[in-house]
């Protein structure tokens, strides 16, 4: 039987690994002791994934976020971004990968208060020398995409928290990153606004955006497709939140872990 080229292509795209940990360790020396913040983590993020990283306080979430975001390097093991091992790059090369490939979303939005929505969106391109009519068009498109088409000339403090986070999400998309990396993205928002932002993540994922969120909130993690649970610097389990069995397991795990940060 002939293989339909369209479905073969989509199969390749669906399974393309864009970020990968291969036996990653991150150890800190504390006097005579070694703290194994990550202790042999292997995982993959595929194009189009929506992955949540969960775990109790001290399990290694922040360490993993810093590594995923190219803010830090493994002590040993490989971190592959877009197929390339970046674990031995120097600081400049690493920050280049960070700027081009990763779209950060922070709990505290991190917008520049003096700049308008449009100007905030252009900031990532400004550092790469790419501001001009093209970037302005793209900023307008993305502002519209996140529902802020009528707020282009507003400054952050003239916007609600949810609107500010939308600006941050649009900003994170300006460089067409390989994936979005969100650190407790809804941690500063009330529950209605949290739901709006999670609905926006759902929409973006449908458009093909790859999302990795680090959270201690089980309800937020359950919105992702998969949840990776860290415990003592290792992967404790990987739940498929879209299958019924996976969802039940994830809910039970969320209950037993509580919301403890
Ligand atoms: N800079 C550091 N120096 C020493 N130990 C650290 C450092 N950062 C994190 N750790 C330790 O590594 C472990 C994992 O920490 P972290 O990644 O912050 O976990 P989480 O974000 O899940 O709370 C903890 O035991 C923590 O104390
Ligand atoms: Mg942390």
The CATH number of whichever domain residue 112 belongs to comes to 3.40.50.300
Residue of 189, 185, 172 whose CA lies nearest to 104: 172
Distance 145 CA to ligand 2 centre (A): 31
**7 belongs to a structural domain:** no
Q: How far is CA 26 from CA 74, 110, 186, 230, in A?
A: 5, 27, 27, 14
CB 193 within 8 A of CB 161: yes
pLDDT, mean of residues 142-149: 96
Ligand 1: residue of 55, 60, 183, 230 to mutate (most ligand atoms within 8 A of CB) is 60
**43 belongs to a structural domain:** no
User: What confidence category does residue 4 fall into, taking pLDDT thresholds of 50, 70 and 90?
Assistant: low
Q: Mean of the per-residue pLDDT values for the chain?
A: 91
Give me the number of domains the chain comprises: 1
Whether the predicted pLDDT of 206 surpasses 60:
yes
pLDDT at 259: 47
Q: What percent of the chain has pLDDT over 70?
A: 92
User: What confidence category does residue 1 fall into, taking pLDDT thresholds of 50, 70 and 90?
Assistant: very low
Residue of 112, 141, 107 whose CA lies nearest to 124: 112
**2 belongs to a structural domain:** no
Cβ neighbours of 110 (radius 10 Å): 14
Domain that holds residue 101: 49-72+96-257
Q: What is the pTM of this model?
A: 0.90
Cβ neighbours of 143 (radius 10 Å): 22
**6 belongs to a structural domain:** no
**84 belongs to a structural domain:** no
Q: What percent of the chain has pLDDT over 90?
A: 82
Nearest atom in ligand 1 to the alpha carbon of residue 233 is 14
Nearest atom in ligand 1 to the alpha carbon of residue 36 is 12
The 10s digit of each residue's pLDDT in 76-97 is 999 999 999 999 999 999 999 9
Whether the predicted pLDDT of 256 surpasses 90:
no
**4 belongs to a structural domain:** no
Nearest CA residue ID for atom 24, ligand 1: 58
pLDDT, mean of residues 43-50: 96
Distance 157 CA to ligand 2 centre (A): 27
Does the CB atom of residue 58 touch ligand 1 within 6 A? yes
Distance 184 CA to ligand 2 centre (A): 10
**83 belongs to a structural domain:** no
Does the CB atom of residue 71 touch ligand 1 within 6 A? no
Does the CB atom of residue 59 touch ligand 1 within 6 A? yes
**41 belongs to a structural domain:** no
CB 40 within 8 A of CB 234: yes
């Amino acid at each position: 039987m002939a293989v339909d080229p369209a479905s073969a292509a989509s199969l390749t795209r669906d399974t393309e690994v864009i970020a990968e940990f291969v036996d990653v360790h991150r150890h800190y020396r504390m006097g005579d002791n070694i703290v194994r913040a990550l202790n042999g983590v292997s995982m993959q993020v595929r194009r189009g994934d929506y992955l949540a990283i969960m775990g109790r306080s001290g399990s290694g979430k922040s360490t993993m976020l810093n590594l995923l975001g190219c803010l830090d390097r493994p002590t040993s093991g490989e971190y592959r971004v877009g197929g390339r091992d970046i674990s031995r790059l120097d600081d400049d090369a690493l920050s280049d990968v960070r700027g081009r490939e990763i779209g950060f979303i922070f709990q505290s939005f991190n917008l520049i208060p003096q700049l308008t929505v449009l100007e905030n969106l252009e900031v990532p391109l400004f550092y790469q020398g790419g501001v001009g009519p093209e970037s302005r068009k793209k900023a307008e498109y993305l502002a519209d995409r996140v529902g802020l088409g009528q707020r282009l000339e507003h400054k952050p403090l003239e916007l609600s928290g949810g609107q500010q986070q939308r600006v941050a999400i649009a900003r994170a998309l300006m460089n067409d990153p390989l994936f979005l990396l969100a650190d407790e993205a809804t941690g500063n928002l009330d529950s209605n606004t949290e739901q709006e932002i999670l609905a926006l993540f759902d929409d973006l994922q449908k458009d093909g955006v790859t999302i990795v969120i680090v959270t201690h909130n089980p309800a937020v993690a359950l919105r992702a497709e998969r949840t990776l649970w860290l415990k003592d610097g290792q992967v404790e389990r990987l739940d498929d939140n879209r299958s019924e069995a996976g969802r039940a397991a994830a809910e039970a795990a969320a209950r037993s872990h509580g919301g403890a940060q």
